[in-house]
Amino acid sequence: MIKLFSLKQQKKEEESAGGNRTGAGGKKASAAQLRIQKDINELNLPKTCEINFPDDDDLLNFRLIISPDEGFYKGGKFVFSFKEPNPEDPLNKEAAEVLQTNRRLFEQNVHRSLRGGYVGATYFERCLK
């Protein structure tokens, strides 16, 4: 498992070095990278869960490992991989095409699907309160 610095500590160190917040390779960190780092620092996983980063510099690609210690699945191991979306290699080709051609429409479709409703001919149940 990776040990991460808090954003405050990292910012302090970078300011003392005379730089801005940066990601891998000295590039300026994206909003997504900064957000995931903040979320990971605040993450409080139960003892049955572990998060693993194959590349310490790439916080947007990680694995979540769940090892239940009770119930029917006790002794099992479930591994979920999370990767940054890649419109070049999509699971949903129609959504990827919309993302590449009309980002605003893609954002509207995501919001519509989370609030419950139709996107094209597909109905999505409400996920947001």
Does residue 102 lie in a domain region? yes
- Asked if residue 120 belongs to a domain, the reply is yes
The boundaries of the domain holding residue 114 are 92-124
- Please count the CA atoms within 13 angstroms of the CA of 101 that sit on its side-chain side: 6
- Strands of the chain (E only): list them: 49-52, 62-66, 78-82, 117-119, 122-124
Whether residue 47 is contained in a domain is answered as: no
Chain segment 82-113, per-residue pLDDT in tens: 877 666 766 678 888 888 899 899 889 988 88
Residue 98 lies in a domain: yes
Question: Is the pTM for the entire model greater than 0.75?
Answer: no
Q: Would you say residue 101 lies in a domain? A: yes
Q: What is the pLDDT of residue 2?
A: 45
For residues 2 and 58, which has the higher predicted lDDT (pLDDT)? 58
Measured from the Cβ of residue 114, the count of other Cβ atoms closer than 10 Å reads 13
Confidence label for 1 from pLDDT (cuts 50, 70 and 90): very low
Give the chain's length. 129
| pLDDT tens figures, 19-51 | 444 444 556 777 777 888 888 889 899 999 999
> Does 127 or 37 have the greater pLDDT score?
37
In a domain, 53, yes or no: no
- The type of residue at 94 is E
Q: How many domains does the chain have?
A: 1
